[in-house]
Chains A and B, each alone.
Chain A
Amino acid sequence: KNEVEQSPQNLTAQEGEFITINCSYSVGISALHWLQQHPGGGIVSLFMLSSGKKKHGRLIATINIQEKHSSLHITASHPRDSAVYICAVTNFNKFYFGSGTKLNVKP
Chain B
Amino acid sequence: DVKVTQSSRYLVKRTGEKVFLECVQDMDHENMFWYRQDPGLGLRLIYFSYDVKMKEKGDIPEGYSVSREKKERFSLILESASTNQTSMYLCASSLSPGNTEAFFGQGTRLTVV
**What is A's interface to B at a CB cutoff of 8 Å?**
30-31, 33, 35, 40-45, 48, 50, 86, 88, 90, 92-95, 97-100
**In whole angstroms, how far apart are the Cα atoms of A100 and B37 in the complex?**
11
Instruction: Name A2's closest neighbour in chain B (CB-CB).
Output: B42
User: Which B residues fall within an 8 A CB radius of A?
Assistant: 9, 31, 33, 40-43, 45, 48, 50, 88, 90, 92, 97-107, 109
Return 15 A-B CB contacts under 8 Å, by A number: A30-B99, A31-B98, A31-B100, A41-B90, A42-B104, A42-B105, A42-B106, A43-B90, A43-B104, A48-B101, A86-B43, A93-B48, A93-B97, A95-B45, A97-B42
A99 to B37, CA, bound (A): 10
Residues on the A chain within 8 Å of B109, using CB: 41
Specify the chain A residue showing the minimal Cβ separation from B88.
Answer: A41
B79 shortest CB reach to chain A, Å: 24
Complex alpha-carbon distance, A97 and B41, angstroms? 10
